[in-house]
Structure 1
Amino acid sequence: MKSLFTTSALFIFMVVLLASCQSSQPVFSKRGEEYRSAREIAAEKRAARRSGTRTDRSIATNSKDRTSRTRSHRNLDKDVAAVIKAARSYTGVPYRWGGTTRIGMDCSGLLCTSFQSIDVTLPRTSEEQSKYGRDVKTKDLKEGDLVFFGSSKRNITHVGMVTEVISRDEVRFIHASTSLGVIENNLYAEHYQKIFVKAVRPPVF
């Protein structure tokens, strides 16, 4: 009886300890990629849901927007269109540090893999990718441009790629989110504006 009680107590202790570790463990990468606190992850989820819902509704109710967006995609450079198509093929793939496959992707890995579709090798980390090309002002953003996030210009920790320029306050970008996997969001959502650092146009475009 005493042995059974001891075993049960040990089991309960291990369950509590495991739950505690999982809830407090930060999302961290040795490369400095994708560090997020629990509060930042929650904010990212809220921004993604609001952004996605608003965009889906506007697309469904505004035929003029649909026409202009379709036209803009027809006019995309062939290489830009190919890279965007490749990136979107990973939509829904979960986040995985160091990942470059459908099992899991990290933010810079998504772009490395997508650019391979046009035989271009990107630097591996978001910080290195931020130096690959020339800086672009947000008002001049185009599909295929890379957008970078972090706590400062010297601490870039996240990257995405512009997929659609819809209006002055809606620019869609695809990225591998730590909390939601590969997803498209609006660059002008409050959460992303707070951490936005810069945009770069790759030399191949």
Structure 2
Amino acid sequence: MRTFFTTSFLFIFLILLMVSCQSSQPTFSKRGETYKSAREIAEEKRLARKSGRMAERRRTKGKPLASKDRTSRTKVYNPRRVDEDVATVIETARSFTGTPYRWGGTTRVGMDCSGLLCTSFESIDVKLPRTSEEQSRYGKDVRVKDLKEGDLVFFGANRNSREITHVGMVTEVISDNDVKFIHASTSLGVIENNFFAEHYQKIFIKAVRPFSE
């Protein structure tokens, strides 16, 4: 009888030992691999994702910005597309010719000077800042003798003012003293004038080029 209980006890003990040994093996480890905790595995995955993001940044460094990034900085253009984009913006602006001036307006019902440019640049999916003063910082400064189509020209309220209150866009360079620009005039609405007219030369402050080359 004692032999029977002793044998049974040993049999049960061996079964429990085998079960214990089997359950101690991590279910996510493969044969030959070193045991890794869930925390270690998660940390390895996090580092791998971080390494992938850094590799992607290096791969895309210097490439044109995606459209979703255009709202906060100057658009980087493919040189072959510059002329096409400029033409599109100018054509859109000219389509508003005769629209009455309306402070804060951006539609055919009425628009102000910066509103005209905001609406025109939307035709190429570029969101300009809303005010003329902010737009004057959107791009690089350009000398008057280097003006070309698509450049933005900024003006003050009078000859002695250095505060930007008005903006227009160059639409056509005909000669050294005949450069057309379109703007929303408070008295005549959206209209094109000669940039070198005496009145505009007196109040001109600066020009910028929003299209990178």
Normalised TM-score (structure 2): 0.59
**2-structure distance, mates of 1:204, 1:86:** 20
Counterpart of 1:87 in structure 2: which amino acid? A
Could you say what secondary structure the match of 2:114 adopts? helix
Partner of 1:177: 185
Check conservation: 1:132, 1:203, Cα contact below 8 A: no
Per-residue CA deviations over 1:125-149 (Å, capped at 9, x if unaligned) read 0000000000000100010000000
Query: In angstroms, what is the RMSD of aligned CA positions?
Result: 1.6
Partner of 1:164: 172
Partner of 1:192: 200
Normalised TM-score (structure 1): 0.61
Structure 2 counterparts to residues 134-149 of structure 1, below 5 A: 134-149=140-155
Counterpart of 2:165 in structure 1: which amino acid? T
Distance 1:153 1:142, change over 3 A: farther
Deviation at 1:203, TM superposition (A): 4.0
- Would you say how many aligned residue pairs link Structure 1 and Structure 2? 131
1:90 aligns with 2:106: no
Unpaired runs of 5+ residues, structure 2, are 1-80
Deviation at 1:167, TM superposition (A): 0.3
**1-structure distance, mates of 2:162, 2:178:** 26
Per-residue CA deviations over 1:38-82 (Å, capped at 9, x if unaligned) read xxxxxxxxxxxxxxxxxxxxxxxxxxxxxxxxxxxxx97000000
Counterpart of 1:113 in structure 2: which amino acid? T
Give structure 1 regions of 4+ aligned residues with deviation exceeding 4 angstroms.
none
1:109 to 97, 115, 119: 115
Structure number with larger C-alpha Rg? 2
Distance 1:155 1:109, change over 3 A: same
Unpaired runs of 5+ residues, structure 1, are 1-74
Counterpart of 1:121 in structure 2: which amino acid? K
Counterpart of 1:181 in structure 2: which amino acid? G
Per-residue CA deviations over 1:175-199 (Å, capped at 9, x if unaligned) read 0000000000000000000101110
Deviation at 1:162, TM superposition (A): 0.1
Deviation at 1:154, TM superposition (A): 3.9
Partner of 1:133: 139
Of Structure 1 and Structure 2, which has the larger fraction of its residues in helix?
A: 1
Counterpart of 1:168 in structure 2: which amino acid? D
Structure with higher RCO (Cα < 8 A, 6+ apart)? 1
**2-structure distance, mates of 1:173, 1:130:** 16
Check conservation: 1:108, 1:158, Cα contact below 8 A: yes
- Percent pairwise identity: 78
Deviation at 1:204, TM superposition (A): 5.0
